[in-house]
Structure 1
Amino acid sequence: MHTMWKGSISFGLVNIPIKLHAATENKDIKLRQLHEKCKSPIEYKKRCPVCEEEVKNEEIVKAYEYAKNKFVVLDDEDLKNLKKEQEDKAVEILDFVKLEEIDPIYFDRSYFISPNSGGNKAYGLLREALEDTGKIGIAKIIIRSKEQLAILRVYKNTLLMETIHYPDEVRDVGEVPNVPEQTDLSNKEMKTAVALIDELTAEFEPEKYTDEYRTALLELIEAKRNNEEVTTAKEKKRPDNVTDLMEALEKSLDESKNKKKVAPKKAAPKKKTTKKSSSKKKSS
């Protein structure tokens, strides 16, 4: 399993060297966009609308838009120093709470935790202590340059870290439109609804739930492939060295001709008048 983060967990005087591994994976089927005419993949280029030119990666800077079209530019050195200051800190458990006290709306991503070298005993100690107390740990961690709030809990004999949202990242439920304050319901309606819930109540078995759309889409793709309903994108024509050389020569020739056309003509030198010729004019 790929290691995506290395560090340590500390609670009190106990320090546990750990590794993080993604606990989930996105199995969405990604579809490419092709040009209908030639079935070639569409390119997405970074372009400046003001300069009307394509922008290279080395010409791009990061900035925060604090108002409409007003930016504070942050250079790589600023962000690098800030990231280094935060990454030097260990994952410190701040509090221990009960899992049921946290609403699922706060949950974000899950990561399996494995002990790094020399951390087996401390890892086992934290795992057993959490199981015995029925508590989970609240901690902070820096992942991908962002400080995350997280919980640590036991999942099938393995420590699990789940990043959770900060309170200000959860939107105010009062802003949801058209939510009725109170509804008038009869006893019969309530009893029927409760009876239906009781009828459909079961133990949670995640294995019985499948992504039917993804399965059907994969079957459709496989059927089309077996029936040879496929297309091959045309490769972009690239000029060879000979063509490049000819283009360069023709361009140089054109530029040379244009320079000659634009160049100003030199004025003809004036004829010098000799003393002999001037004396003849006087005698005549």
Structure 2
Amino acid sequence: MHTVWKGSISFGLVNIPVKLHAATEDKDIKLRQLHKKCNNPIKYQKTCPHCDEEVKPEDIIMAYEYAPEKYVVIEGEELDRIKKDQEAKAVDIINFVKLEEIDPIYFDRSYYLSPGDGGGKAYALLRKSLTDSGKIGLAKIMIRSKEKMAVIRPYSNTLIVETLHFPDEVRSLQEVPNVPHEVQLSEKELKTATLLIDQLTEEFEPEKYTDDYRTALMNLIEDKMKDEAGVEVKGRDNVVDLMKALEESIKRTKGAKPPVKQTQRRKKA
């Protein structure tokens, strides 16, 4: 399992060397965009509208737009320095809270936490302490150049890190349009709705749920492959033939004697 982050987590005087691994993966089916005329994949180029030319990676700088068309340029060395300063810090558990106190709107991504070299006992201690107390640890962590709030909690026989959004990253309720207020509902309507909820209530079993859209799309792709309904890229036959010709020429010339120069032939004559 790929390591996303490596460092240490501390609570009190206990320091635990740990590694972070992504707990989820994107199962979306990636579709390519092709040119309808020749079926070649579309390429995207970074261009400057002022210079009307393609921009190479080494010609790109980073900046923050603090006003319309006004920027503060941030040098790469400055970004690297801030990143190193933050990543060098051990992840300190700030305090402990109950999981139910955190609204799901704050949750972002999940990561498995494994102990580093020599950290097995301290890892087990934290896992057992959290399980017995019914609490989770609240901390800050630096992942991929971005500081995140995070909770550390037991998950089966493992510890898991759940990154959280900061409060200012959660949009205000006032921005939600057309929310009804003080709507009169009859007692019969409420009882009927409650009865329906009760009838559809059961224990959560994640294995029962599947991505129906992804399954249908994959079935469609497989059917098209069986029916040989695929398309081929146009305009590349000459390139392939040329490569074959070059490779064949190289094979034929291997071990062959170098050609005799014309001057050498004249001398022998």
Fold in common (TM above 0.5)? yes
| Aligned residue number for residue 261 of structure 1 | none
CA drift of 1:235 comes to 6.1
Q: Write the mapping of 1:57-72 to structure 2, written as runs, cut at 5 A.
A: 57-72=57-72
CA distance in 2, matches of 1:104, 1:188: 31
CA drift of 1:182 comes to 1.2
Matched, 1:156 2:151: no
CA distance in 2, matches of 1:52, 1:175: 39
| Aligned residue number for residue 128 of structure 2 | 128
* SS of 2:139 mapped into structure 1: strand
Matched, 1:106 2:92: no
CA drift of 1:233 comes to 2.0
Q: Given the two structures, how large is their TM-score scaled by the length of structure 1? A: 0.82
| Aligned residue number for residue 204 of structure 1 | 204
CA distance in 1, matches of 2:235, 2:11: 57
Q: Which amino acid aligns with 1:130?
A: L
1:90-138 per-position Cα deviation (integer Å, ceiling 9, x unaligned)? 1110010000000000000000000011000000000000000000000
User: Comparing 79-88 with 117-126, which one deviates more in the overlay?
Assistant: 79-88
* SS of 2:86 mapped into structure 1: helix
CA drift of 1:195 comes to 0.3
Unaligned runs of 5+ in 2: 243-269
CA distance in 1, matches of 2:175, 2:52: 41
CA distance in 1, matches of 2:104, 2:201: 20
CA drift of 1:232 comes to 2.3
CA distance in 2, matches of 1:157, 1:166: 28
CA distance in 2, matches of 1:175, 1:55: 38
* SS of 1:151 mapped into structure 2: strand
| Aligned residue number for residue 265 of structure 1 | none
Unaligned runs of 5+ in 1: 241-284
CA drift of 1:2 comes to 1.1
Q: Which amino acid aligns with 1:126?
A: L
CA distance in 1, matches of 2:75, 2:151: 33
| Aligned residue number for residue 179 of structure 1 | 179
CA distance in 2, matches of 1:232, 1:67: 48
* SS of 2:179 mapped into structure 1: coil
1:16-49 per-position Cα deviation (integer Å, ceiling 9, x unaligned)? 0000000000101111000000000001000000
Q: Which amino acid aligns with 2:38?
A: C
Matched, 1:49 2:49: yes
Q: Which amino acid aligns with 1:167?
A: P
**8 A contact 2:150–2:161 mirrored in 1:** yes
CA drift of 1:180 comes to 1.1
Sequence identity, in percent? 66
| Aligned residue number for residue 141 of structure 2 | 141
| Aligned residue number for residue 193 of structure 1 | 193
CA distance in 1, matches of 2:100, 2:4: 28
1:67-94 per-position Cα deviation (integer Å, ceiling 9, x unaligned)? 1111111111110111111111011100
Q: Which amino acid aligns with 2:58?
A: E
CA distance in 2, matches of 1:145, 1:233: 39
CA distance in 2, matches of 1:234, 1:114: 49
* SS of 1:225 mapped into structure 2: helix
Q: Post-superposition, which runs of at least 4 consecutive aligned residues in structure 1 deviate over 6 A?
A: none
| Aligned residue number for residue 217 of structure 1 | 217
CA distance in 1, matches of 2:84, 2:190: 57
**8 A contact 2:7–2:17 mirrored in 1:** yes
CA drift of 1:234 comes to 3.8
Q: Which amino acid aligns with 1:186?
A: S
CA drift of 1:175 comes to 1.6
| Aligned residue number for residue 33 of structure 1 | 33
| Aligned residue number for residue 91 of structure 2 | 91
**8 A contact 2:38–2:235 mirrored in 1:** no
